[in-house]
Amino acid sequence: MKPLGTGSDDLTGHGGDRPPSAGLYVHIPFCRQKCPYCGFFSVPSPALIRPWMKTLLKEILLYEEGFGPFDSLYLGGGTPSLLSIPELTRIMTHLRAHFQFRPDTEITLEANPCDVSPEKLWGLRELGVNRISLGVQSFDARALAFLGRRHTVRDAENAVRHVKEAGFDNISLDLIYGFHAQPLQSWKETLHQAVSFAPAHLSCYELTIENRTYFGKLVQTGGLSPLSPDEARTCFLITSRLLEAYGYTHYEISSFARPENRYARHNWKYWRHAPYLGLGPSAHSFVNGRRWWNVRSVRTYMALLNRDERPVGGVEDLTESQLRLEAVALGLRTREGVATDRIGPSMEAQSRLSHLTDAGFLEICNGRVRPTRKGFLVADYLPAYLC
Amino acid sequence: MPNIRNFSIIAHIDHGKSTLADRLIQMSGLVEDRKFRDQILDNMDIERERGITIKSQAITLPYEDKTGRTFALNLIDTPGHVDFSYEVSRALASCEGVLLLIDAAQGVEAQTLANLYAAMEHDLEVIPVINKIDLPAADVDRVREEIEIDLGLDSDTAILCSAKQGTGIEAVFEAIVHRIPPPADNNKARLRALIFDAHYDPFRGTIVSCRVFEGCVRPGDTIRLMNNNARYKVEEVGIFRLAKEARKELCAGEVGYIISGIKRVSDTRVGATITLDHEPAPAPLPGFRDIRPVVFASLYPVASDDYRALADALEKYTLNDAALTYQKDSSAALGLGFRCGFLGLLHLEIVQERLEREFDQAIVMTSPTVQYQFQLTSGDRVLVDNPLYYPDPTTILQGFEPYIRASILLPERYMGVVMELCTERRGVNARFSYPTVGRVEIRFDMPLGEVIYDFYDRLKTVTQGYGSFDYDLLDHRESDLVKLDILLNGERVDALSQIVHRDGARSRALRICNRLKEEIPRHLFKIAVQGAIGGTIIARSTIAPFRKDVTAKCYGGDITRKRKLLEKQKKGKKRMKMVGAVSIPQSAFVAVLKSENE
Ligand SMILES: Nc1nc2c(ncn2[C@@H]2O[C@H](COP(=O)(O)OP(=O)(O)OP(=O)(O)O)[C@@H](O)[C@H]2O)c(=O)[nH]1
Ligand code: SF4
Ligand SMILES: [Mg+2]
């Protein structure tokens, strides 16, 4: 696995650990139907879109002061591509009216392959969207059926083509692996096919079974068995090696970029404690060591805003040591790692660190501790062990 | 001065002492019926959970006999288990008589006899009480015969009762007041009060339980502890009801408590005599015999910084458990700790549990061991009750280990399996007797070291709970002893070392290795668990590494949850002991002590 970056190891281009500009996230909590594995907050109630939008515009006003300028905007969900161009236009107009954006702001929209007609894509370009994250998930019909997706392989292929034809050069494809309905061979083929479209970015997620999802219930009742850790490990390693062979940089557990400066600018902020503002139900915000999150319900969200209250569900102020723990945990999920001095000077911490480097889980490079590919595989374990 | 009677209820375990105490308390009218609960004197959580008495408990009952005379009856309920016999012997020092309970179905058992002897040593009036006569299996005639033959008491004097059903209780009361002599009337003499128990109260300091033999003590008096001449002003005296009840004075013959702002825990010692400072008694009371621990193990705080807290807790704890002895100890794996002596395995278990529950101490306990002797080439003979001090093997001429006479009482049908178990545990010189039809008593000479390991558990299992076991210490006998070390990735965990007989070393080592394999969580690397004697590896197991632990997504909404998980893991890590790079959970040290069948 090649080290990240040439010369500077800072993807953000802001130098060292200095916090990058703020990011803005808008959660659009609607889907046509709920996917059986999805733990994101979304509801299959398109009728709520209109009234909800009104309240979103109210929420924007609440944060007019104090944030920005932003250099990333992420329209996520849910399925933002469900919204029509006029609806998205209203949102964008409002955002631009009340927030400041840098001229080169990266504006991402998550799209379902069914929703990307050429006309829609043109409309999105006009709105300033310059990055499309496409929920392809797989190029294997059986896998798509297992995942309960409503699009076909054909839809997916056409969607990618349309996005490219519409002139988007910053495309990310979301793919899911690690389930029995998609044997390793099929997964490799999906990867090859994904790469054949030469997207700048790939997010390859191992299927995570969350308790609150339909799959979670299936697992509990024995209707579904997850991969063994060894099988999952193999999938992870093959994904990483294959995509790196194609010239992608494996810069985060599930994220790959080619060239490496096409990393997901907005997501990167989550991993670097950069400030971000999240709007919409369930969205999280973080600034100056304070984190807060909106309620996880469209109706409560609307009700609160209609009473001119913040739709906030919880707040926490992180202590110095919590910040440190998070910084290490988040940093070690990225190839850039964390600054060595974050690990702590105690004898014990240092001996654990050298133990992990000796065993090939971490490497130290330019004053930073970085996970190797093997380290990525145990990234959830490393911080508690080190800190 | 009221008519006082001081007595203890003594018996073999489970013969119904606490239940009889319940009936006596109830009939004295001390507690309203609706507030009553069974075994009301067993007020510690551990006692209630396990259904056994661990601490002696005193209570003063009012009683009016048939003629209308009123009495104050000082009852002390005692534990029946052999590991708490020190509680019994101290209770007896405060009494003029005892109720010796015998289960009508079980008959005389090992502790019946042992406790009778203890009562006779104190020259106490013994009233045999046959309890549980309501049981279908009750065999009163047989028990009478045992009382005559085994105990050498007049069985005509025995009282029949059912503590559970409350029959025969009146006769018990009458026997107490008419057969047990009143305490000597010594109010005029100089104060001598014997401390037989104590406990630490964070607000009031040390509270001592005592029996006044001579003189009186009142609030405002300055008392003096005769063992160290420490002086205190008495704040409060009183007697035990279900709670403490303050009195104007405590006088000769009475049992009660004294609170005197004793803040320095180490000043008080069970067995010490209290006198008045301005009029001291010429000599202290005899006190108690020293305890001789039979099982030894070390205690360490889970987090090394908690050593002071543990020291403090132990000091306070021993006020309330005089049978525990301890001194400083240290281990490379576990840091600073304490070497403790216990009266048996149950005692050890209770100490550990009470320290954790009452004093909030997280502790790691090492494998219990007995006291070995080694004859060295230099001519010296050394005592070793801690594997850390196992002598250089090249200097050892001979090893010796303590033997016990084990006596096991069981239904005949289990004889085969028990014989097998005992010979496997190096039992020799088996003798049999048949106390009653269908029951057999087997006596064995057996190394104590074999018993402390997991013998009780195994015996219980193979006899499905029907075997009862008791032992006396015999002597030290020559034995081929070796030190078994446990290594984790080549590093010795000194706290897991044991002294064992050479023949059993390999199977013991294997068992420990397998246990540790179950208890030590997977690490990022492979862990070799080995058992070794000297440089020779005699057993091993391997803990495979885990190689994947990562979740695919971590965006804005996942970070808080992830951090909370990490914080929990960090807390868990604090409770682990590090040996080299290996973290060992507290449970692993405990698991090593458990039998393989559990
Ligand atoms: N049938 C019957 N059961 C009784 C009688 N007395 C006590 N028991 C039962 O015997 C068991 C033991 O009673 P305890 O009073 O706890 O015995 P103990 O002697 O205090 O036991 P230790 O304090 O542990 O030595 C309980 O389940 C009681 O309910 C009795 O007269 N008849
Ligand atoms: S996976 Fe995407 S489309 Fe499916 S329910 Fe979740 S947010 Fe909606
Ligand atoms: Mg009892």
Tokens standing for B135? 């049981």
A317 and B CB contact within 8 Å: no
Question: Nearest Cβ partner of B547 from A271, A276, A377?
Answer: A377
pLDDT digits (tens, 9 = 90+) for A213-251: 999 999 999 889 999 999 999 999 999 999 999 999 999
Characterize the bridge pairing of strands B363-365 and B325-331: unpaired
Q: Are B377 and B415 spatial neighbours (Cβ–Cβ below 8 Å)?
A: no
**Distance, in angstroms, between A355 CA and closest chain B CA?**
8
Within chain A, residue ranges assigned H as helices are: 49-62, 85-98, 118-127, 141-146, 153-165, 184-196, 214-220, 229-245, 265-271, 298-306, 320-331, 347-358, 373-376, 382-386
- What would the mean pLDDT of A51-77 be, rounded to a whole number? 91
- What would the mean pLDDT of A113-121 be, rounded to a whole number? 95
Q: Please give the distance, rounded to the nearest whole angstrom, from the Cα atom of residue A295 to the centre of ligand 2.
A: 18
Q: Please give the distance, rounded to the nearest whole angstrom, from the Cα atom of residue B494 to the centre of ligand 1.
A: 43
H/E stretch holding B18 reads: helix B17-27
pLDDT digits (tens, 9 = 90+) for A8-41: 334 444 444 445 689 999 999 999 999 999 989 9
Q: Are B148 and B121 spatial neighbours (Cβ–Cβ below 8 Å)?
A: no
Number of H helices, E strands in chain A: 14, 15
Residue A7 has pLDDT above 50, yes or no: no
Nearest to B80, CA basis, from B470, B446, B406, B443: B470
Question: Nearest Cβ partner of A25 from B556, B573, B578?
Answer: B556
With bands split at pLDDT 50, 70 and 90, how would you rate the model's confidence at B2?
A: low
A233 and B CB contact within 8 Å: yes
For residue B204, the model assigns a pLDDT of 87
Whole-angstrom Cα distance, residue B5 to residue A187? 88
Taken in order of first residue, the domains within chain B and their CATH numbers are 4-179 (3.40.50.300), 192-276 (2.40.30.10), 295-365 (3.30.70.870), 372-479 (3.30.70.240), 482-593 (3.30.70.2570)
- What would the mean pLDDT of B210-238 be, rounded to a whole number? 93
pLDDT digits (tens, 9 = 90+) for B493-537: 988 899 999 998 999 899 999 999 999 999 988 999 999 999 899
Residues of chain B with Cβ-Cβ distance to A208 below 8 Å are 551-553
pLDDT digits (tens, 9 = 90+) for B355-398: 999 999 988 888 888 999 999 999 999 999 989 899 999 999 99
- Predicted TM-score of the model (pTM): 0.69
Instruction: Give the closest residue (by CA) to ligand 2 atom 1.
Output: A38
pLDDT digits (tens, 9 = 90+) for A282-341: 999 999 999 999 999 999 999 999 999 999 999 999 999 999 999 999 999 999 999 998
Whole-angstrom Cα distance, residue B416 to residue B412? 9
Whole-angstrom Cα distance, residue A4 to residue A163? 29
Residue B187 has pLDDT above 90, yes or no: no
Classified as helix, coil or strand, A280 is coil
pLDDT digits (tens, 9 = 90+) for A143-161: 999 999 989 999 999 999 9
**Distance, in angstroms, between B569 CA and closest chain A CA?**
6
Residue of B nearest to A322 (CA): B563
Whole-angstrom Cα distance, residue B50 to residue A14? 65
For residue B156, report the phi and psi dihedrals to the nearest 5 degrees: -65, -25
Q: Please give the distance, rounded to the nearest whole angstrom, from the Cα atom of residue B165 to the centre of ligand 1.
A: 11
Q: Please give the distance, rounded to the nearest whole angstrom, from the Cα atom of residue B350 to the centre of ligand 1.
A: 20
B559 and A CB contact within 8 Å: yes
**Distance, in angstroms, between A254 CA and closest chain B CA?**
6
- What would the mean pLDDT of A196-211 be, rounded to a whole number? 96
Taken in order of first residue, the domains within chain A and their CATH numbers are 8-271 (3.80.30.20), 333-387 (no CATH)
Nearest ligand (C-alpha, residue A215): 2
Whole-angstrom Cα distance, residue A68 to residue A24? 8
Whole-angstrom Cα distance, residue B402 to residue B449? 7
Rounded to 10 deg, the angle between the B415-424 and B448-462 helix axes is 150
Whole-angstrom Cα distance, residue A277 to residue A63? 9
3-state helix, strand, coil in chain A (%, to 5): 40, 20, 35
Q: A208, B554: Cβ pair inside 8 Å?
A: no
Q: Which residues line ligand 2 (CB under 6 A)?
A: A 31, 34-35, 38, 40, 42, 77-79, 135
**Token pair 């670097």 is at which residue?**
A272
Residue list, CB under 5 A from ion ligand 3: B 17-18, 53
Please give the mean pLDDT across all residues of chain B.
90
- What would the mean pLDDT of B398-426 be, rounded to a whole number? 91
Residue A354: CA count within 13 A, CB half-sphere: 7
For residue B596, the model assigns a pLDDT of 54
For residue B288, the model assigns a pLDDT of 87
Three-state SS string over A315-363 comes to EEECCHHHHHHHHHHHHCCECCCEEHHHHCCCHHHHHHHHHHHHCCCEE
* Residue A123 or A11, more confident: A123
Question: Nearest Cβ partner of B524 from A253, A326, A361?
Answer: A361
Q: A322, B567: Cβ pair inside 8 Å?
A: yes
Nearest to B345, CA basis, from B593, B11, B519, B598: B593
Instruction: Give all strands of the β-sheet with B273-276 in edge-to-edge order.
Output: B231-233, B222-225, B273-276, B192-201, B205-214, B255-262, B236-240, B244-247
Q: Which residues line ligand 1 (CB under 6 A)?
A: B 11, 13-19, 39, 51-53, 79-81, 131-132, 134-135, 162-164
